Amino acid sequence: MKFETTAGIENGDTLFILNDEEYLPALIVRHQSSISCLCIAIGGLSFKTSDVIFSLEKSLNKEVIPVIAEQELPEEDVSQQVITSTEQAVSQKNTPDFSGKIRLSSNSNFSNQTDDIYRFRYTLSAKATNISGSRLTAETYLSFTHKLNEWDVVKDNLNKALKVYNLALQYEFTESATLWVGRKINPHVANVGAVDGIQFEYGFKNLYAGVIAGSRPDYYDYSFNFDLFEYGAYLGQAQKVTNGYVQSSLAFFEQRNKGNIDRRFVYFQHSNSAIKNLNLFASFELDLYKLENDEPKNTLSLTSLYLSARYRFSRRFSVFGSYDNRKNVIYYETFRNFADEILQQASRQGGRLRFNYRPVNYLIVSASAGTRFRKEDPRPTKTLNGFVTYTNLPGIHASLSLTGNLLQTSYLDGQIYGARLSKDFLDGKLYSLLHYRWVDYKYVNTVTELKQHIGEIDFSYRFNKNIYMSVNFETTFQAKENYNRLYLSLRKKW
């Protein structure tokens, strides 16, 4: 889900929908960035990108502020849409329904130092529910990407251009028993990633259990690779409680590579908002097998751990803390610039503490600090981030954000300061943004330094509820070098 800002939203939070004047729990936040949230649906709900989602954590004097999951910026996590759409509402009447979205986009990079690069991307996502009145559902999410004058790369290996993130059939034997066939990410074991194969789940009351058998996508180009066989099972519970939602799942998986055991592990995740104003989330992976001197051994090793807690002292003040020891995320597609990539890597792992405060209406103040130290690092990584946002500037009714980031990694010291002004026009049809950042990176083992001025301008226009267009231009100045990026996007829904 995309937002103008996710200030005040943390992992484990509950997002809501409005139904007959009542706010109902709808989504659990699994991971959030500055403009997007990775979520799973509660109770089998399904959503379209035009749906209005509410964050009660953003309320002031019980006035709930809506955030529309439609603001498109160039940065996109390609698995995000797949996961947030994996849960489907149960249709009592088996009424057929079809929804889809096609997007055409281009990303142009040109500078005075390198050759110009023009990349084109076409994506299709679609879901057909209760086909011909049956219990059969089909869904897909595909993307095709190529560069100008590099069609030989596509012909040499189609999988470098074509990415199949979701392609599956679902059949509901009953409201409790569901079978998936094809490539699909299961939201109850999302850390496993996409599975090419068969998945079966059975639910009873607040419990659910499932089995999975298939293969993993290829590591290099995300194609089908049946040498990477895997199978597993999971058990979990999910229920609404007075103050929110409680969900837990435990999974066992064995993964193979050309018939040999590659990995055997246990995965656990838990989300809890049963205590008023407190949100807890935890996940971990335990490896049960390893090769030592080419000899297989059954072992018990903690290979991934994430813990987070958020407490809301009042409608205006909340504190969030987390510890992240998960593996780094691999992006098959990303539009991050160099400065953003360094900042994201520095903030990704380790311990982190953050607070959000609303001293008065429309004003948000947030600050966070984090640290990480690994044995192989010559010195610890430290980050200090803060921002101040005023969402309704007098006279122009615009939103202004001032940001600051200080970071120390094993190989550089850096600071980033920025200001962003955004405003809607024409009753919300036109969204505009101006963004400036100053970057100062100093490499500790050399006299090299990197100073950048990054400017960004964005316009997004909604012709109607089905057609949406955006234009984003970013320019980076450093010493004698100049880099420019132009992102164009046209989207059609039906």
In the β-sheet with 52-54, what is the strand arrangement from edge to edge? 37-41, 22-32, 14-19, 52-54, 66-68
Nearest 10 degrees: Cα torsion 32, 34, 35, 39: 0
Which residue is associated with the tokens 């829904």?
Answer: 493
pTM across the whole model: 0.73
Burial environment of residue 126 by CB neighbours within 10 A (0 to 12, 13 to 18, 19 or more): middle
For 76, other C-beta atoms within 10 Å of its C-beta total: 20
| Residue 324 backbone zone (phi > 0: left; psi -120 to 50: alpha; other: beta) | beta
Contact 389/378 with Cβ under 8 angstroms? no
Q: Is 464 helix (H, G, I), strand (E, B) or coil?
A: coil
* 488 token code pair: 């164009």
Per-residue pLDDT 10s for the chain (494 aa) are 544 445 455 544 566 655 444 445 566 565 554 445 656 554 445 554 445 565 544 332 333 333 333 333 233 333 333 333 334 444 445 788 899 999 999 999 888 878 889 999 999 999 999 999 899 999 999 999 999 988 998 999 999 899 999 999 999 999 899 999 999 998 888 878 899 999 999 998 889 999 999 999 998 889 999 999 999 999 999 888 888 888 899 999 999 999 999 889 999 988 888 898 998 999 899 999 887 777 888 888 888 888 999 999 998 999 999 988 877 555 555 556 666 776 666 666 788 999 999 999 889 999 999 988 777 777 888 889 999 999 889 888 899 999 999 988 888 888 999 999 999 888 878 999 999 999 998 888 787 888 999 999 999 999 988 899 999 999 999 888 888 999 999 999 98
* Exposure string over 86-123, b if 16+ CB within 10 A, otherwise e: bbbeebeeeeeeebebebebebbbeeeeeeeeebbbbb
User: One-letter amino acid identity for 3?
Assistant: F
